[in-house]
Amino acid sequence: MANIAPSAEAAALSFGGEMELSPGQARAALSGGEATFDGNIRTVASGRTGLKLIAETIAADGPGTVLLPAYLCPSILQPFCEQNLPLAFYGVGEDLAIDTEHLRRQVAELRPRAVLVIHYFGFPVVGLPSRAAAPDQVHDSTAREAARPPGTVGTPRPGRRAPPRTAAEDDPLSGAGSRPWLIEDCVQGSWMGDSPGVIGGVGDFVLTSFRKYLPVPDGGLVLCRAPGVVLPRLAPAAGGFVQRRMAGKVLRYRFLHEETGNRRLERAFLDRFQEAEAEIDHRVPRCGMSQLSLRLLNHLDIAGAVRQRRDNFRTLLDAVEGGTRLGDFCQPLFSCLPEGVSPLAFPVRVRGGARDRLRRELAARRVFCPVHWALPEEVRAADFPQAHAISADILSIPIDQRYDTADMQDLLHRLNESASATMQNMA
Ligand SMILES: Cc1ncc(COP(=O)(O)O)c(C=O)c1O
């Protein structure tokens, strides 16, 4: 077992973990106005609630498969399973780009009702299908059957030259006959209901979840552009999930800033968060964003959060590419930061099978790095080796708006120390 005693320098500051809420922020949530959203946007309690509304729309339209990327958060399956919608997967490359050839084959073979894409870590996914359905394409099963062109699946006969692809054929979703709905999952950042943004501009449905990105107990958005579809307005969440997460956030603030080292307090907030997750894992809530979170949202400096996340991302990118210990065996998944992206984290791939060891070393120095994600069993390693290869060595380093430039230097120090300790233990 690695030597994971905390270093002498391990300071009180923790990196990562749930975003805490100060008493001042909590008080603000008890008064003041609520954030509002225009157009065909609905607020939702969580990302899964957004997916639930979409899944209900698909199920109401008739039976049919939903096609998901093989690299995904297991919780995405839940709302579709609750509606008994069959699921299938398409491949994603080791750079997290859509395997467009596999997507095309899956669409032609399975004729799905909907295809979901994920903008991983808030970066525009490579291979995103272009703008949605032509206006005359109707999402109705009769129209779907009628529109299905005969003999569209299959390879060209030997001796015959395949004709050049038309623009429509180039679209990986075109082989379904009636074009499937496109769902853009923006839960990992960069989309706050704004249009046009760097992502979220083409989907028939677009969704996000604020609680990954901002210090709010719940909340998210779902936008619908599908012609003729109006999503229901949901009553605001008010119950256990919101209250437990709110309590967890306030307790965590106390633990970090007032009673550092109080293990009982630490246990208390971890328990609140776990109970809240268990509640929503059991059944996806069918509620809108709580009034608490809508008020908090009105007070938060979102532009500042975006700026800080971008600055912090760049600091780590420069360090990893600039010959640090960390850079010796961590490879960033994204080596540039396009305009408009506000990333969830700084994801790296850890070489040499050392991910879990490095993660433990980091935790010993109070740097808590999640793994996005351990894949659900429905994605079989034999079918999707690339997705499983990423899942085995990916690690998300925190870069969120809680940390300023000085904090990032502290973080870098801990990262390099952890990298050295990991290497020593591997030698
Ligand atoms: C990409 C992605 N989509 C959707 C979800 C579901 O969001 P929520 O946990 O807010 O329901 C998650 C959860 O982590 C996610 O990572």
As a whole number of angstroms, the distance between CA 427 and CA 414 comes to 20
Rounded to 5 degrees, what are φ and ψ at 184? -100, 115
222 CA to centre of ligand 1 in angstroms = 13
What does the CA dihedral 287, 291, 293, 296 come to, rounded to 10 degrees?
A: 170
As a whole number of angstroms, the distance between CA 415 and CA 348 comes to 12
205-209 and 220-224 strand pairing: antiparallel
Tell me the two tokens of residue 50: 């957004």
How many CA within 13 A on the CB side of residue 419? 22
Please report which residue ranges of 61-136 form alpha helices under DSSP H.
Answer: 77-82, 100-110
Rounded to 5 degrees, what are φ and ψ at 422? -65, -45
For residue range 307-316, what is the model confidence (pLDDT) as tens digits?
999 999 999 9
Report the SS3 class of residue 302.
Answer: helix
CA 125 vs. chain centroid, Å, equals 12
187 CA to centre of ligand 1 in angstroms = 6
146 pLDDT exceeds 50?
no
423 pLDDT exceeds 70?
yes
Q: How confident is the model at residue 347 (pLDDT cuts 50, 70, 90)?
A: very high
In this prediction, residue 177 carries a pLDDT of 76
34 CA to centre of ligand 1 in angstroms = 24
313 CA to centre of ligand 1 in angstroms = 21
In this prediction, residue 199 carries a pLDDT of 95
Q: Sign (positive/negative) of CA torsion 21, 22, 23, 28?
A: negative
In this prediction, residue 160 carries a pLDDT of 43
Report the SS3 class of residue 194.
Answer: coil
Reference 131, options 173, 94, 85; nearest CA is 173
146 CA to centre of ligand 1 in angstroms = 36
CATH architecture of 301-427: Alpha-Beta Complex (3.90)
94 CA to centre of ligand 1 in angstroms = 21
172 CA to centre of ligand 1 in angstroms = 25
CB 55 within 8 A of CB 83: yes
As a whole number of angstroms, the distance between CA 51 and CA 65 comes to 15
CA 266-269-274 angle, to 5 degrees, is: 120
Rounded to 5 degrees, what are φ and ψ at 181? -65, 140
Which of 44, 46, 75, 286 to probe ligand 1 with, by most ligand atoms within 8 A of CB? 75
As a whole number of angstroms, the distance between CA 21 and CA 34 comes to 18
Ligand 1 atom closest to Cα of residue 372:
16
The protein residue whose alpha carbon is closest to atom 2 in ligand 1 is 187
Tell me: cis bond preceding 373? Omega within 30 of 0 counts: yes
Tell me the two tokens of residue 140: 């109705």
41-44 and 220-224 strand pairing: antiparallel
Q: How confident is the model at residue 164 (pLDDT cuts 50, 70, 90)?
A: low
**Protein residues whose CB sits closer than 6 Å to any atom of ligand 1:** 46-48, 73, 75-76, 118, 185, 187-188, 209, 211
Residue bearing the bigger pLDDT, 383 or 30:
383
In this structure, of 5-19, 148-162, 279-293, the range with the lowest mean pLDDT score is 148-162
The protein residue whose alpha carbon is closest to atom 16 in ligand 1 is 73
In this prediction, residue 25 carries a pLDDT of 84
If you ran DSSP here, which 8-state letter would residue 211 be given? G
Average pLDDT over residues 4-33: 73
Q: How confident is the model at residue 427 (pLDDT cuts 50, 70, 90)?
A: confident
Domain 16-138+171-300, CATH: 3.40.640
CB 98 within 8 A of CB 126: yes
CB 343 within 8 A of CB 189: yes
Q: Counting runs of H as helices and runs of E as strands, what totals does the chain give?
A: 14, 10
Name the residue ranges covered by the structural domains of the chain.
16-138+171-300, 301-427
Helix (H) / strand (E) containing 413 = helix 405-426
For residue range 40-67, what is the model confidence (pLDDT) as tens digits?
999 999 999 999 999 999 999 888 999 9
Reference 185, options 167, 211, 158, 204; nearest CA is 204
As a whole number of angstroms, the distance between CA 205 and CA 157 comes to 38
169 pLDDT exceeds 90?
no
Which position has the token pair 């596999």?
102
In this prediction, residue 163 carries a pLDDT of 55
As a whole number of angstroms, the distance between CA 328 and CA 420 comes to 10
Ligand 1 atom closest to Cα of residue 51:
4
Length of the chain: 427
CB 415 within 8 A of CB 397: yes
As a whole number of angstroms, the distance between CA 311 and CA 314 comes to 5
CB 47 within 8 A of CB 206: no
141 pLDDT exceeds 80?
no
CB 77 within 8 A of CB 93: no
